[in-house]
Structure 1
Amino acid sequence: MLHANAALTPRQRLRMARLIVDENWPVARAAEWFQVSWPTAKRWADRYRLAGPDGMTDRSSRPHSSPARTPQPTVRKIVHLRCKRRLGPVGIAAIVGVAASTVHAVLVRCRINRLSLLDRRTGEPVVRYERDRPGELVHTDVKKLGNIPTGGGWRTVGRVQGRRNKTTDGGKGRNRHHNVLMGHAYVHTAIDDHTRLAYAEIHDDETADTAIGFWRRAVAWFATRGVTIERVLSDNGSCYRSRAWRQACAQLGVATRYTRPYWPQTNGKAERFNRTMINEWAFVRPYPSEAARRAALPAWLHTYNHHRPHTALGGQPPITRLTNLSGQYI
């Protein structure tokens, strides 16, 4: 395997092998010229005779057979116990009759050594995917948040003062328990599957007309960044299931896709973005009013897209996946 101080790269190996085989250089002279040992020069010359230029790459050190490897029926039983009963290596080892270290090695090889890698409902391994190019699939969703009364909500000032602030603010009527209603903020979001680039707006409802208006602006926002949206994936909310939504997407040249009912994992990237947005924007500090919180969203979105490291992108912000984009590093 190549390393930082390797004397021979595949290109150098090929040059040396050609000197020996094609130009009849002595092996010792070629080895001295490339500053490697005589057996090394001979090995690459022999591989060049057998396989040509394709033989200059490193071969796998994996053995052709592993007689001591855990039998496949035992592996299947270990995987079954892990997925269906959520048992750890010690518990599985007691049932199967092998060492706990063997069970752990099997779980690592099958990539289910962490319970977070299994679906909570079915126990099946989580299937993670990423589209190949920007715009191939965009996830959209709506996150519902309670409005903050002027002076702060209960999360900031406590429940007693929070009720007083709601009463002073007027609210939007009262419920059957005579509590003041402040209404809700509906955060409409769109996140690209490949780049994780996100766009969001806050509205007072989640009707079809509002969702369509947001989607038209989202498509235009992505287009200014060189991203042409091909498909949109949404849940089965009434605004997305409406005929007007499908017609609007058809006019924009965007195909509609829907998640499996009662299966939010399908739209996992949007759900995860909503969670990040809640933690880093909505509840990150005590806002004195709903207007102050809404005014802080654009700045946070810019930070998310341009500066915040994303673990799924190797610690790089989403904008880095769009090349040759003016102003992307601002």
Structure 2
Amino acid sequence: MPWDARDTMSLRTEFVLFASQDEANIRSLCRHYGISPATGYKWLRRWAEDGAAGLQDRPRTPHHSPNRSPDGITDLLRMAHARHERWGARKIKRWLEDRGHPMPAFSTVHSLMARHGLLPGMPPGIPATGRFEHSAPNRLWQMDFKGHFPFGGGRCHPLTLLDDHSRFSLCLAHCGDERRETVQRQLVRVFEHYGLPDRMTMDNGAPWGDTTGSWTGPELWLMRLGIRVGHSRPYHPQTQGKLERFHRSLKAELLQGRWFADSSGLQRAFDQWRAVYNLERPHEALDMAVPASRYQPSARQYSATVMPPEYDEGVMVRKVDISGKLSIKGISLNAGKAFRGERVG
């Protein structure tokens, strides 16, 4: 996957965060990102020496200033707030520290931000209780459409995909509709970049809903790729609570009060915010680490060629007709329209 100049910094940061984790296979990651091991180790060395600044193509002014004055700290807080105006003191403090700026205690940072009107002006969220997460990346991905909204080119239906373990955003895509073909096209891009998960969960709405009790087209496609599919309970959005929380942050930090003239500008804004969310934004549920520091691409690679199902000897195999039904010994059974034209056992 050659690096695209449009998002080179995001890809470099993503690479070094993945490669810096314990037991990471650096050479495998180099192959995944289409770079040589020498290049990969170069970026790792610069990351270790200079942090985010070391990933720039041009030299940057050193960030370290141990004897920075209180006015200097306030200037840093103003700069950080201008970039992330919806972040509170805890995230701002960690974000600046990750970039090499020594910061005072959280209470001091909070006081300075309050004194200078830099807090987001909203009460802190209620801490989650009984939080559950899967033990490793790619065990479960959560998928949904965020509520659609108007823009200059019509309506946007944002497709979102989140890794349960790391909170890493795998997809934030502008879609003009919520049809199966649209979703499948976006998922292929994700699978090609990050590999395949063990399981995916989604709600019961179109195009992946299971309210009829039979398989849908998207479910059949995922099943053929070896991905197990689950659904949240109807009217229980907390089943996908991490993704719901992601949607709240997306609305507050990017969408609220903004107008987008066209689809290309909208997708650029999505890509930039997703990069910040994955690579820069400290996450309280991760002990203020960034999601990319806990994510690794899946070892299960995507292939566009899907082998037809094989059945054991003695299994009756029937072809599903155009109405989604098959007949066994004169008895008509409903397999679902997703299986039209397929041979099933």
Shorter-normalised TM range: 0.3 to 0.5
> TM-score, normalized by length of structure 2?
0.45
Instruction: Choose 1 or 2 for highest CA Rg.
Output: 1
> TM-score, normalized by length of structure 1?
0.47
* Structure richer in helix, relative to its length: 1
Query: Which of 1 and 2 has higher RCO (CA within 8 Å, sep 6+)?
Result: 2
